[in-house]
Structure 1
Amino acid sequence: MTTGSREVALDITDRCAAFLTEHAAGRDGLLNVFVPHATAGIAVLETGSGSDDDLLAVLRDLLPADDRWRHRHGSPGHGRDHVVPGLVAPHATLPVIGGQLALGVWQSVVFVDTNGDNPRRTVRLSFLG
């Protein structure tokens, strides 16, 4: 997937649902969502009402893109991107009932990436029935 050159909180719920349509076939189980990147994570939160932007704002406040970071390759402040998965885990395991994600009414699966240096990302989905 392409995320571009700026911070994103990208709703991937539809991708997860499409995967389940193909792989869960009406079964109950667990969907594992994993990002194999050192600077990205998966969050379950409300989107569209500003919570996704609020999450990015909190990460900017907690992890400023300045020269305090020991990890220094890439763009200025890039070291903070490597701390993001410590706060937003690179995985989520979600319940599946009847082949459908069993999320709350306002919950979405969100890919969180503060690293503008790498616009190409992978999300790995697996279903355990």
Structure 2
Amino acid sequence: MPHAFTTSVLHITTGASETVTDLTHDCEEFLDRAAAARDGLLNIFVPHATAGIAILETGSGSDDDLLAALHVLLPADERWQHRHGSPGHGRDHVIPALVAPHATLPVIGGRLELGTWQSVCLVDTNISNTNRNVRLSFFGQ
């Protein structure tokens, strides 16, 4: 019998620019191993103070639109009190308040229940830290 709780960590390298990285395929591969056609919940968590998890459409410009919106809301300038790292890095520490570091999604019959255009994405604006861990946890019966 499969375990009620299974967890794994993805190691993601985001590069030297702000990114929205689609993790949907990684989540599906994890569920193929962990869920075994069961119903339950998938929790995605990024344990970093400057990154978040978003559910959004990718490939049509929405990922770039999200990064542009974050620049409008949180400009990378010298207004931030948190001042180490690259210029304007303090904004990166505010982003998880707008793009939460976690998401919990339904899993039905071992399959991730997303809408037609929805993807699970890592949002990372911190160009000073290009190595990210993302924990995937399945709880099901």
Work out the CA distance in 2 between the residues paired with 1:108 and 1:45. 5
Aligned equivalent of 2:25, options 14, 39, 45 = 14
Aligned equivalent of 2:136, options 121, 125, 129 = 125
Matched, 1:35 2:46: yes
User: Which residue pairs with 1:74 in the alignment?
Assistant: 85
SS in structure 2 opposite 1:86? helix
Matched, 1:116 2:127: yes
Give the share of equivalent positions with the same residue, in percent: 73
Structure 1: 5+ residue stretches without partners = none
TM-score (norm 2): 0.91
Work out the CA distance in 2 between the residues paired with 1:109 and 1:94. 10
User: Which residue pairs with 1:101 in the alignment?
Assistant: 112
Matched, 1:65 2:76: yes
Structure 2: 5+ residue stretches without partners = 1-11
Letter in 1 for 2:123: V
Residue 74 (structure 1) shift: 0.3
Work out the CA distance in 2 between the residues paired with 1:91 and 1:69. 24
Residue 120 (structure 1) shift: 0.3
More strand by share: 2
4+ aligned runs moved over 6 Å, structure 1: none
SS in structure 1 opposite 2:64? helix
Work out the CA distance in 1 between the residues paired with 2:16 and 2:49. 16
User: Which residue pairs with 2:98 in the alignment?
Assistant: 87
What is the RMSD computed on CA atoms of the aligned residues? 0.4
Letter in 2 for 1:96: V
Work out the CA distance in 1 between the residues paired with 2:56 and 2:88. 26
Work out the CA distance in 1 between the residues paired with 2:68 and 2:29. 30
